[in-house]
Amino acid sequence: MATLHNPERAWARVAALTSFDVGEVERRIGPAPGHVELLSGGLANLNLQVVGRGVLRIYRSNLGQGDLGGPAKEARLLSLPWQRLRVPRVLQQGSDFLLLEHVPHSE
């Protein structure tokens, strides 16, 4: 499958989203079986590549309170029967996070 262009690479990130604590990952999906890497993109939410698991999106919008409807809304949109758009599968969902299938993008 061809990789997709990732326009988020050019976005500016909020300073608070430039670092993370592995404990944030473990509290949501348990111990990470491999390396955890901060991904580019995500102006309001934290996106982490968890090797061996997928992409963990932690919702941090609304001044750190989290958009509690965000994960449910996004999971619903991703579950629609898209025919011309490749979207990741939702692997796990919580009140402030989604664990998504990793979909490779072009550089």
Q: Residue 98's pLDDT is what?
A: 96
Q: Residue 17's pLDDT is what?
A: 62
CA 12, 15, 18, 21: dihedral to nearest 10 degrees? -150
pLDDT in tens, 56-88: 999 876 544 444 578 999 999 999 999 988 899
Are 67 and 92 in contact by the 8 Å Cβ rule? The answer is no
Hey, which bits of the chain come out as E strands? Answer: 4-5, 36-38, 45-50, 54-59, 90-94, 97-100, 105-106
- Does the pLDDT of residue 107 top 70, yes or no? no
pLDDT in tens, 24-47: 999 999 998 889 999 876 677 889
Average pLDDT score over residue span 15-19? 64
Q: Residue 9's pLDDT is what?
A: 66
Q: Residue 60's pLDDT is what?
A: 77
Q: Residue 103's pLDDT is what?
A: 87
Determine phi and psi for 16, rounding to 5 degrees: -65, -15
